[in-house]
Structure 1
Amino acid sequence: MVQRVAIYCRVSTTDQSCSRQERDLLEYAKKADYEVVGVWKETTSGSKNNRTKRKQVMSLAQARKIDGVLVTELTRWGRSTIDLITTLQDLAHWGVSVIAITGLQFDLTTPQGKLIASVMASLAEFERDLVRERVCSGLAAAKAKGKQLGRKPGQRVKADKYAPKVLQMVFEGHSYRQIARELHLSKTTVNEIVKRDKQKNCSFLS
């Protein structure tokens, strides 16, 4: 039963305001008899990963200080399908739901939540395939122009050691930041491991 909620508002540009989102969410919380522990507002593009306020809300969830996150719609919370399913999984692990103002409650421990998670996981895989296809196309074009791709052998001992685990966690839907934190790697190293794997997969298609 959701009782304590954190309100999260986000707009994409500085000429926009979170005021309307905040007003609507506070009104909804009052009607639903939720205890609002705080309101977190930030201005950042949906594609950017520098969401300081969202990280603070996630920290509250991990500390079991809230039962739910209240948003106007899921696009305000998730950066992409992959990011959305990853954060929902983390929140579910901590017993926290994401609640949209439409009344939809995304709790992955319920049958409805599991169904939604399954659908979103399929969409995330589709999204990854599209990204992989675009990367392969770009690499093929670069190769055709004679550009040298990748590093020389023997220069990435640590990265090669962690590559299987990194790729497995990426497949499971974890974000690069989460993987870097759990494996004590830099986000750049994680990104390079995934990039090399995509290059290798593309080579099989050429």
Structure 2
Amino acid sequence: MMKTVIFARVSTNVQEYYRQVNELTVLAKSNGWSVEAVFTEKISGAKANTERTELLNMINFVEVNHINKVLVTELSRLGRDTLQVLEVIEMLNRKGISLYIQNYNIETLTADCKVNAMSQFLITILAEVARMERKTIRERVESGYKNYRANGGKVGRKIGYKKTEESMREQYTEEIKLLKKGYSLRNISKITGASINTIRKCKSLI
């Protein structure tokens, strides 16, 4: 039986990855593939691979457990930086592990574990489009903020605003989980993208 793992990612703590996992689980079942593990993370896809704990855990797992395929719903779930994405794919290629991208129904390797040149070409284009899209969105947001401020608008929380402990626990579940595991504030900040001050506030909730 074909052995697979599911990899799902969302960018922020308020987003959820359950839809991705459910869709890929159904996909695997319909193809008669076994799902050996599920890896999920809440982190910006623009982060360096070395800062993404679950991505590194997945790469290690697929090699040790002789996995055949890594399943993602779309390429951007693997990452949004072209070079970082291609780096992961190259590592998988060298291990003879195919990346299956659901929304385009393409794989990086052929049935005999050879590099699929056409898929590789398409993936490079898709990764670059995702990077450009992220850059465009960031520029639009920055431009919007500048125009808003120029017209007298104020950005930020209202004076006296303070999140409740319950909302903090809901929004920063990953940070609290890592704190309980003994990770340092600095490392948690690198992994999740949250500020050191925010993580300090989370620590007071434990």
TM class by shorter chain equals 0.5 to 0.7
Bigger shift: 81-90 or 105-114?
105-114
| Alignment partner, residue 29 of structure 2 | 30
Following superposition, the deviation at residue 114 of structure 1 comes to 4.6
Matched, 1:104 2:103: no
Q: Which amino acid aligns with 2:116?
A: T
Structure 1 residue 101 displacement after superposition: 1.5
Listed as ranges, the gaps of 5+ residues in structure 2 are 133-206
Structure 1 position 81 matched with structure 2 position 87: no
- How far apart are 1:64 and its partner, in Å? 5.2
Map of 1:151 onto structure 2:
none
Once the two structures are superposed, residues 173-194 of structure 1 have per-residue CA deviations (whole angstroms, 9 ceiling, x without a partner) of xxxxxxxxxxxxxxxxxxxxxx
CA contact (8 A) 2:82 2:124 kept: no
Please give the per-residue CA displacement for 1:72-105, whole angstroms capped at 9, x wherever unaligned. Answer: 1010002411111111111000000111122211
Does the CA contact (< 8 Å) of 1:85 and 1:120 recur in 2? no
Separation in 2, partners of 1:36, 1:30: 8
CA displacement, residues 123-154 of structure 1 (integer Å, 9 cap, x when unaligned): 59x99xxxxxxxxxxxxxxxxxxxxxxxxxxx
Written as runs of structure 1 = structure 2, the 5 A alignment for 1:126-145 is none
Match of 1:146 in 2: none
Q: Is the 8 A contact 2:100 2:108 kept in 1?
A: yes
CA apart distance, 1:38: 1.0
Which stretch has the larger CA shift, 90-99 or 62-71? Answer: 62-71
Contact 2:46 2:79 in 1 (8 A): no
Per-residue CA distance 1:1-54 (angstroms, 9 max, x = gap): x81111011111111111111111111111111110011111111112322111
Higher relative contact order (CA 8 A, sep 6+): 2
SS of aligned partner of 1:69: strand
Query: How many Å apart are 1:61 and its aligned residue?
Result: 2.7
| Closer, same or farther: CA 117–10 of 1 in aligned 2, 3 Å | closer
Query: For this pair of structures, how many residues does the alignment match?
Result: 125
Q: Output the aligned Cα RMSD.
A: 2.8
What's the % identity of the aligned pairs? Answer: 27
Q: 1:110 to 1:64 in 2, by over 3 A?
A: farther
Give ranges in structure 1 of 5+ residues lacking alignment: 128-206
Q: Deviations over 1:46-75 (max 9, x none)?
A: 112322111111112333521111011010
CA distance in 2, matches of 1:106, 1:68: 10
- Find out whether 1:21 has 2:20 as its counterpart: yes
Say if 2:39 and 2:54, in contact at 8 Å, map to a contact too: yes
Query: 2:34 and 2:121 mapped to 1: Cα distance?
Result: 28
List aligned pairs for 1:53-202, cutoff 5 A. 53-63=54-64, 65-102=66-103, 103-107=105-109, 109-116=115-122
How many angstroms apart in 2 are the aligned matches of 1:58 and 1:16?
24
